[in-house]
Amino acid sequence: MTDLSRITRDVALASSVLDNGGIIGMPTETVYGLAALARNERAVARVFTTKGRPTSHPLIVHLSPEEKIEQWGVFNESAIAIATAAWPGPITLLVPRTSIVPDWVTGGRDTVAIRIPSHLMAIDLLSKVSDAIVAPSANRFGHVSPTRAEHVLHDLGDDVDLILDGGPCEIGLESTIVDCTSEALQILRPGKITAVRIAEITGLTLANTDGPSRAPGMMISHYAPRAHVELCTSLDEARVKGTALKEKGIAYTIIHHDDLTKYALSVYDDLRAADVNQVTVVLAVLPVDDGLGIAIRDRLSKAAAH
């Protein structure tokens, strides 16, 4: 677990490990990914087993900015508008797939999730490797996503061949996922790029995101630490609950930031720290339901779900 030799900043080495069928932890601007070559069936199978993720939960295909995106998916007018405005960047587009996208990436679906990340080391890696990369978040299924190379080492240890260290992630929450498979766009997972921004880019009103999600693995408990997460609507409420817990001798911590950028950056770190510090209850203060706050609320609510 403390084998730091597994961590490197050598992009050429990381690229050759992938080209030889290996799996690696890779940085992106959102969270660290567990990368494999998309069209290497055995490597992708290892990604699923390493994460402990059901193969019915499809993976995001990560492309280099130089790649011809139409080779991988069918982009309608809105998808092209979003791709042009927001790539490279923290947004994933769900589009109908082309025939080069393997079933083992999409779980046999006729759609594919595609993203061009903006992290410079990720772009460097994507332009060096021989093919597209799949990269789910580099955590065990259902657990807290990693935002630093050390998190990947801690979670996956010997199960990855290498971890490419690109420093702490700039955003700290996964990409926004937008379903562009029909004219009515739908946000499947909120992120830094908000529905309001997507509406601005496309000139369309987005479909309501209430109701069952069209992305598998979205509605269940997720992003969860071992500690019990309890949602609070204000810092005052968290403090009152904290005092009551303390009286009962229950170890707790409060997570909260007024600044949404800081909150997004630290929320997974704070959830992990709760486990490291063997805290029993995390009192998580919900931020405003606006901007980046929407994504933070989404992750906290799932971390609190049983």
Q: Give the binding range for ligand TXA (CB under 6 A) out of 54-62, 65-73, 125-133, 201-209.
A: 54-62
Which residue's Cβ lies closest to Mg ion? 137
Contact between 91 and ligand TXA by CB under 6 A: the answer reads no
Contact between 92 and ligand TXA by CB under 6 A: the answer reads yes
Q: Give the binding range for Mg ion (CB under 5 A) out of 18-26, 132-140, 155-163, 195-203.
A: 132-140
Among 96, 142, 217, 291, binds ligand TXA (CB under 6 A): 217
The neighbour count for residue 293, using CB atoms within 10 Å, is: 17
Contact between 295 and ligand TXA by CB under 6 A: the answer reads no
Contact between 60 and ligand TXA by CB under 6 A: the answer reads yes
Contact between 40 and Mg ion by CB under 5 A: the answer reads no
- Residue 221 Cβ, how far from Mg ion at the closest point, in Å? 13
Q: Return the one option of ligand TXA, Mg ion, none that residue 60 interacts with (CB less than 5 to 8 A, by type).
A: ligand TXA
Q: Give the binding range for ligand TXA (CB under 6 A) out of 5-13, 55-63, 72-80, 271-279.
A: 55-63
Binding residues for ligand TXA (CB under 6 A): 28, 30-31, 33, 57-60, 92, 94, 106, 109, 111-113, 115, 117, 135-137, 174-175, 177, 215-218
